[in-house]
Amino acid sequence: MSTRSSRSSSGTGSSCGASRKENAVTKTVSRWRSDRLHRDISLVRWGTFGQPVLLFPTAGGDAEEIERMHVISVLDPLISAGRIKVYSCDSVAGAALASNEGSVEHRCWILNQFHEYVAYEVVPAIRTDCRDGGIEVVAAGASIGAFNAVAVTCRYPHLFSTALGMSGTYDLERLMGFQGNQDYYFSSPLSFVPGLEGPTLDTLQRRFIVLPVGQGRWEDPSESWRMAGVLGAKGVPNRVDPWAATYDHDWPTWREMLPLYLDDLVA
């Protein structure tokens, strides 16, 4: 695994937890070969202290999309105060879906493998970086990123404490025009959450999922309400927050939502 850093921090190393130490927004890029996805993947971190937040890109975005879209800038007060550390990884599955890579079966396989990659490669890397083998992660994202944030939280609730799904797109079969297989079933929270039982459901019922959505251009609030209905039917705490019709399915909306909710969700 290769790692490179930019900018310097007032502290040494990296930590998580409740530290309030002021620090520069240090950026570190790690890259390794994922055997699950058969390709090189990047994981980027901004910040040095605080609660780890895994922020999924939209659709086929890469790990640095959120920086280019000025999301890191609006999160600067939380990062610099040592309240959060932000991580992001390449949206491999989203890119495959958006580009119609290979067959439908191949794209469903990548989606399933991507979530396993997050659980078994990304989260361990975050915990190592935080020097805490049991720390729970906040999952967040917008659009397809919201799908991934909710999916991994529901699928691996022992790893994630909270999911923030902004303007979520949850019915990928309808969006992409394909019929999913078993790989898709295990990746789609609309599909697998109704069948959850036992310890996984018990743990998920102690988590919280918040689904803010605008009512402006390109938004579809029915997706969030449908996801909330599936979660509520299984006793999973959740809330849909409808925003006004002036909030479109676009980056200005998410740049306003994200710091507001993270400020509320993170101690």
Domain residue ranges of the chain, discontinuous segments joined by +? 2-265
Q: Which residue has the higher pLDDT, 251 or 7?
A: 251
Q: How many helices (H) and strands (E) would you count in the chain?
A: 13, 9
Q: Extract the tokens encoding 64.
A: 């640095």
Q: Which pLDDT score, from 0 to 100, does residue 180 have? A: 84
Q: Strand ranges (DSSP E) for 47-105? A: 51-56, 84-89
Confidence (pTM)? 0.92
* Pair 149, 167: CB distance under 8 Å: no
Residue 26 has pLDDT above 70, yes or no: yes
As a whole number of angstroms, the distance between CA 210 and CA 114 comes to 22
H or E element, residue 38:
none
Q: Which fold has domain 2-265?
A: Rossmann fold (3.40.50)
Tens-digit pLDDT profile for residues 75-133: 999 999 999 999 999 999 989 888 889 998 999 999 999 999 999 999 999 999 999 99
Question: Distance between CA 141 and CA 167 in Å, rounded?
Answer: 9
Helix (H) or strand (E) holding 35: none
Listed in order, strand segments (DSSP E) in the chain are 2-6, 27-34, 39-46, 51-56, 84-89, 137-142, 160-166, 208-213, 238-242
Retrieve residue 254's tokens: 């998410």
204 and 136 in contact (C-beta within 8 Å)?
A: no
Residue 39 carries which side chain, given as an amino acid letter?
R
